Amino acid sequence: MSKMPAPVLPALIPQQRAKAKTVSKTASPLPIAIVGLGFGTWVVRSLEKPEQKQRFNIVALCDLNAPLASSLAAEIGCRTASFEEILADTEIPVVGIFTGPAGRADLVRRAIRAGKHVMTTKPFERDPAAARDVLEEAARLGRLVHINSPTPELPPDLARIQKWQKTHSLGAPLAAHFSCYARYEEEADGKWLDDPRLCPAAPIFRLGIYLINDAIRIFGEPEEVYVMTSRLFTKRPTPDHAQLSIRFQSGALATIFASFCVEDGDSYRNELTLNFERGTIYRNAGPEGRSGAFTRLALVQKDNNASKIVEDELLSSGSGEYDWEVFHRSIVHEIPVPHDYPSIVAAGLRVVEAMAESELTGQPTKVSPDRTPLSKFECITA
């Protein structure tokens, strides 16, 4: 993504200023409360690792399942609290919100209005307008909202792809083939994961959302989508096998395959084959897949009438990871998110909105336009 000038954010209005905890530029670790312990339990475990404990100190846990919250709080040595108590506590400057996506924008809004910075997860919301509105409000209030996908900063793998596009004169990106899979055999439990309105084309919404967000950053404004789904092994009423096609305004095409039916020892590899005018980039592709925790990138170009790999690199991280280091640094040094970040987040959710309609009708569906269409990022210029 191109570097845009950061807007000058206004000071907090008096109500928020009274509630917001001032963060010292030398403060480390920052107190954080975690809300939602279904998936949030995994987040708690990751924040308890030594490298993260230097950045964030979990001081409170919140979940509707009180026994779960109490047990985990006793294990890590913190307290439980209601969401209202967390918002009222001026000693907690940061909240991690890991509830279900439907209506999450309202929880984020309550947090930022209470002066909190927020880390949350994909998919950010079901409603693209609500997502955009709350992210724009956060910017106005000087509060940070970071998501693991899409992240405010271009992730290392897409940044390297962008660099290769320039240095190797690859031209415009024309097509992409994405896949992400694992093997789940789930039982229905009455949660939002069982509801096709809240969880459309479930494997795409739950796993493929990473790939949708990557595609938006590569190709820009989406135009039309078509989705196909199957139920093979799941006991949920939502599908466990799906493929999404996207046509972009540039004419580029992308397909995204996501499944809970495949086990090959390399789950969640976020595979990508990306075709440019003059070359192809592979991410975690082929039998090699990933290399442990590393993201593998390779570039193939025609050279002297033969194809060969001209770049091959392992990166320590890639798209979809929680960048706690960037989040901590942004809070301490008051670094705002790029001003087009709300548009990037909303674009992926507009694809989801159209995907839900396509699943319902079985027909290709136009993606609704945003009030401010995506600008052209460096990643899609020739």
pLDDT of residue 208: 95
Taking only the tens place, the pLDDT of each residue in 229-268 is 999 999 999 999 999 999 999 999 999 999 999 999 999 9
Question: Is the confidence at residue 134, as pLDDT, over 80?
Answer: yes
DSSP 307-342: EEEEEEEEES--TT---HHHHHHHHHTT-PPPTTHH
Taking only the tens place, the pLDDT of each residue in 266-308 is 999 999 999 999 999 999 998 888 877 789 999 999 887 777 8
Question: Is the confidence at residue 362, as pLDDT, over 80?
Answer: yes
pLDDT of residue 5: 31
pLDDT of residue 20: 46
Q: What's the pLDDT band for 371 if we cut at 50, 70, 90?
A: confident
Question: Is the confidence at residue 175, as pLDDT, over 50?
Answer: yes
Please tell me the CATH code under which domain 14-152+328-336 is placed: 3.40.50.720
Sequence-distant contacts of 292-298: CB under 8 A, at least 24 apart = 295/156, 295/157, 295/270, 297/157, 297/160, 297/161
Question: Is the confidence at residue 204, as pLDDT, over 80?
Answer: yes
For 77, residues 6+ apart whose C-beta sits below 8 A from its C-beta are none
Superfamily of domain 156-321+349-380: Dihydrodipicolinate Reductase; domain 2 (3.30.360.10)
* Spans of all domains in the chain: 14-152+328-336, 156-321+349-380
The percentage of the chain sitting over the pLDDT mark of 70, rounded to a whole number, equals 91
Task: State the pairing for strand pair 279-283/271-276.
Answer: antiparallel
